[in-house]
Structures are given as structure tokens and as C-alpha cells.
Amino acid sequence: MGDVGDVGDVGDNRTGGGGHRALVWHGLPERPGAAVLVLHGGQEHGLSRPGPLNLPGLRMTGFVHALRRETAGAGVAVGTVRYRHRGWNGERADAARDAVAALDDLAEELGPVPTVLVGHSMGGRAALHAAGHPTVTGVVALAPWCPAEDPCEQLAGRDVLMLHGDLDRITSPADTRAFAARGRAAGARVCGYTVAGTGHTLMRRIGDWHRATARLSAGLLGLCELPPEAAAALALPAASGESLGLLLPAHPRTAPPRPPFRPLPTDA
């Protein structure tokens, strides 16, 4: 897994109990009605703390910016999860524990607002593990690490979008498709995309990765319509094996004019 560190801190980053604050805000409206949390990648094993200049961490900066642009004016809080350790570390599942801690902090600060988790690599695995949290309504998993032994019952009732490059040699696209099928069978609404010509670092077609992630996240929050193929995939029955490897189309740099956002529950 490509390890990814912290993105620049903005907003309320107080240190909680035990000296670690898992939730870092990058955009916090006055009255948020929804939230998106971004989870970076990591290593299979590693107990050291991610450093502030951990280069792969910068990989997620573009996703944070894209999410903030896409949801501007819609009352959506955007944050990241700060890990205590670089690694997943076996049964400790440290990244998933930090994701749950960040979600607990989010719920305490904002209330039970609908939340989408966006995770890359190990962060995708952590997001999928943490999806059973009461605030989570959807997950966008980017080149996720999906071992065959990982559970998927926690995904029941959630919307799950999984994107994987066909050239990835770090995490397995086939494992992602298998996990997507198991998640759908467990009661999740699932759509899978293949991002042709790209590998694990997400650098090829980076604009497509950014724009697709931001627009799909906004769609999961009900701020705009999901692409027709994604909406159709999410409606498929549990036994279906279709739409788990749809080709992700190129996303134009300039999107067509969007209608006004649908008001979120807390909007006046």
C-alpha cells in the first residue's frame, strides 16, 4: 500500500484524550448538514507516526480541494483522518480505529449528519471497516486494499462506490471486485468502476480521479444526481454480479452548469 501522510490542518484540530486528535477539519461551514472525511493510505505494518512531510500524504490534498470546490455553498464539512501509526498492523486495524474515533468526534461536534468516507488504499480499507458507524451513509473507495478475509456485513444499507485502476500492482482490482460482490450480497448498494490506464498512485488521469470522486461524493450526499450508470448499479439486487467494473469515463475539466444544490436538512 502506498503510504500517505497528513494534509495541511485547518479549523478545529484540538487534541483529544490520549494526546491524539483523529479528526482534522479543512472546511467547516457554520451550520454543516453533511460531511465528507478523506482517509489516506498506509503500510501493512508500521508503528511509527506519519510525518508532516510524508510525500504520499500530499496525494490526498487534491481530493480535499476537489471535494471542497464541488460542495461549496452546500453546507458540507470536509475533513481528514489523522492516523496514530503508518500501518494497519494486523488485528489491531489501527487505521480503522482512528477512522471510528474521527467519526465519533464528528458526531459529537456536528450531530448525526450524513457522512461519506473517501479512502485510498489502506484508507479505503479503513473506510470500508468503519462504514457501520451510524453517521456513515456512503463510501467512495479508491484503489482499496480488500483482503478476502475482511468483513462486509457493516456495509448493509450503505452506498458503496469502488474505483480501481486496471494497472494497479499494489492492491488488486480483482480483490476489489470480489469484495464489491460480497458487499452487495451483504445488503450494500454497490457500484464498481475500472479506471483504465491507471495504477495505484492515482497520478495517471489524476483529474479524472479528483473530479469523479468529488462528483460521486456529492451525489451520494444527495446534492446532485449520480451518473445514470451508478444510480442503476446501486439499484441492482443482492445476487447481481453486474456493474462491478464499469469503465470510468473521462470527466471534463469544466463541468456543465449545475442546478442549485438541494437544501440539506439543517439549511435555513
Extract the C-alpha cell encoding 173.
482490482
* For range 240-264, the mean pLDDT: 78
Those residues with Cβ within 8 angstroms of residue 176's Cβ, 6 or more apart along the chain or in another chain: 141, 143, 144, 146, 162, 164, 192
Q: Where are the alpha helices (DSSP H) in the chain?
A: 61-70, 94-110, 122-130, 173-185, 206-220, 228-234
Place of cell 479524472: 208
Q: How far apart are CA 188 and CA 234, in angstroms?
A: 8
Choice among 168-172, 191-195, 242-246, 261-265 with the minimum mean pLDDT: 261-265
Q: How far apart are CA 189 and CA 97, in angstroms?
A: 24
Residue-wise pLDDT for 210-227, tens only, equals 999 999 999 999 999 999
Residue-wise pLDDT for 21-53, tens only, equals 999 999 999 999 999 999 999 999 999 998 877
Band of residue 263 on the pLDDT scale cut at 50, 70, 90: low
Regarding predicted confidence, which is higher, 259 or 162?
162
Residue-wise pLDDT for 162-172, tens only, equals 999 999 999 99
pLDDT of 175 above 80: yes
Choice among 15-19, 222-226, 239-243, 253-257 with the minimum mean pLDDT: 15-19
Q: How far apart are CA 50 and CA 86, in angstroms?
A: 5
Global pTM value: 0.91
Band of residue 13 on the pLDDT scale cut at 50, 70, 90: very low
